[in-house]
Amino acid sequence: MTLSAEVTDRLRADDSSFVVTGATGWFGRVTVGLLAEALGGTDRIRCYASRDQELTLPGRPVRVRPLEDLRTDDLRTSYLLHYAFVMRDRLECLGLDQYVSENTAITRAVVSAIGATPPLGLFVTSSGAARTAATTPYGWLKAVSDDALRSACRAADVRVLIGRVFAVAGSGNPNPLRYALSSFADQARRGGPIQVTASRAVRRSYTGVADIVALALSDLVLGAQRGTPADNLFETGGEVVEVGELARRVASAAAPGVDVCRPPIDCETEPDDYVGDPAEMLRLMAVHGMVPASLDQLIAATLAAP
């Protein structure tokens, strides 16, 4: 997925900049890569993460500053793509109080920046866990952050789009072994067997990270012109697949003879379903002339990733 010619032409014709928080994560890396390709460089992209570091793109290192250094002037004539969040796997290590404190501080910093100098538009990756916010600290914090950011944008008359992300796939993943599809692809590239440990049915619906980012950029840049809502939220989703079937499709796409090993499914145990309703996402994609990658295309992209 690349940005459309119309979006690319619009970006090259004006002097808008881009601020990317959480730039070293999966969404951040894909965003910076798509923008660098469209803009012909990274001069108009400012990146932030948890600490001062460098993001390496093909042929071009990009400076990444600590989020605490975010200046309100950075948002003037800028689109803000906000991915910074302390993920759920850090909860046990940090403890509940520090986990809540760090995520609340991130949201507060971005809300404050929007209030001081409103950006041209905001895209936020939320989580499917926010749909049932009361069940986990992570989901609750995501829901609270969604509400705070939308309120800040309404008050500042800023276009905002929030994507509640369920399962995602594609290239650019900095931590592939944390994700089932990427892990299956890694095992398949090594000749297998692919190990599926779940003893109950586990169903997911995958969307390409690049598709989500391209949709967000298209809507921020062209949404007002095309009449899409200025305050909107969508859920990601694609073909629903059980992880055993997903492993078999990865094995089939990788090479002949790759086996899949899995314990018998306990049919009396409630399935683990984490599946989005993509109706609004697909409607927005249609408005912007986009077609999401199929699951087979996402599997192929994941297998091809370094």
Task: Read off the CATH number of the domain in which 265 is found.
Answer: 3.90.25
Decide if 198 is inside a domain.
yes
Give residue 172's pLDDT.
Answer: 87
What mean pLDDT do residues 133-145 have? 91
Cα–Cα dist 179/246, whole Å: 12
Q: Which pLDDT band holds residue 59 (cuts at 50, 70, 90)?
A: low
Position 124 pLDDT exceeds 90: yes
Residues in contact with 14: Cβ distance below 8 Å, sequence separation at least 6, in sequence order: none
What mean pLDDT do residues 226-244 have? 97
pTM of the model: 0.95
Position 40 pLDDT exceeds 70: yes
Decide if 226 is inside a domain.
no
Give residue 180's pLDDT.
Answer: 94
Cα–Cα dist 130/133, whole Å: 5
Q: Residue 159: what are its φ and ψ, rounded to 5°?
A: -65, 130
Kindly report the number of other CB atoms within 10 A of residue 100's CB atom: 17
- E strands present in 41-117: 45-49, 53-57, 60-66, 78-82
Decide if 51 is inside a domain.
no
Dihedral angle of Cα 131, 47, 86, 105, to the nearest 10 degrees: -90
- Tell me the pLDDT tens digit for each residue of 85-114: 999 889 989 999 999 999 999 999 999 999
Mean pLDDT computed over every residue of the chain: 93
Decide if 202 is inside a domain.
yes
Cα–Cα dist 24/61, whole Å: 12
Residues in contact with 283: Cβ distance below 8 Å, sequence separation at least 6, in sequence order: none
Cα–Cα dist 306/185, whole Å: 11
Position 241 pLDDT exceeds 70: yes
CB under 8 Å, gap of 24 or more: what pairs does 96-100 form? 96/137, 99/137, 100/137, 100/141
Give residue 56's pLDDT.
Answer: 83
Position 1 pLDDT exceeds 80: no
What mean pLDDT do residues 32-38 have? 94
Decide if 259 is inside a domain.
yes
Decide if 96 is inside a domain.
no
According to DSSP, the β-strands at 240-242 and 202-208 are antiparallel
Both tokens assigned to 106: 């991130």
Give residue 71's pLDDT.
Answer: 76
Decide if 281 is inside a domain.
no
Both tokens assigned to 69: 């250094």
Decide if 190 is inside a domain.
yes
Position 188 pLDDT exceeds 80: yes
What mean pLDDT do residues 206-224 have? 97
Both tokens assigned to 275: 């599946």
What mean pLDDT do residues 149-167 have? 97
Q: Which pLDDT band holds residue 75 (cuts at 50, 70, 90)?
A: confident
Please give the tally of structural domains in the chain.
1
Segments forming the whole domain that contains residue 181: 167-217+238-275+291-306
Task: Say how far residue 44 (Cα) sits from the centre of its chain.
Answer: 21
DSSP assignment of 41-53: SSTTEEEEESSSE
CB under 8 Å, gap of 24 or more: what pairs does 126-131 form? 126/162, 126/163, 126/164, 126/165, 126/233, 127/164, 127/165, 128/164, 128/165, 128/166, 128/235, 128/236, 128/274, 128/276, 129/88, 130/164, 131/164, 131/235
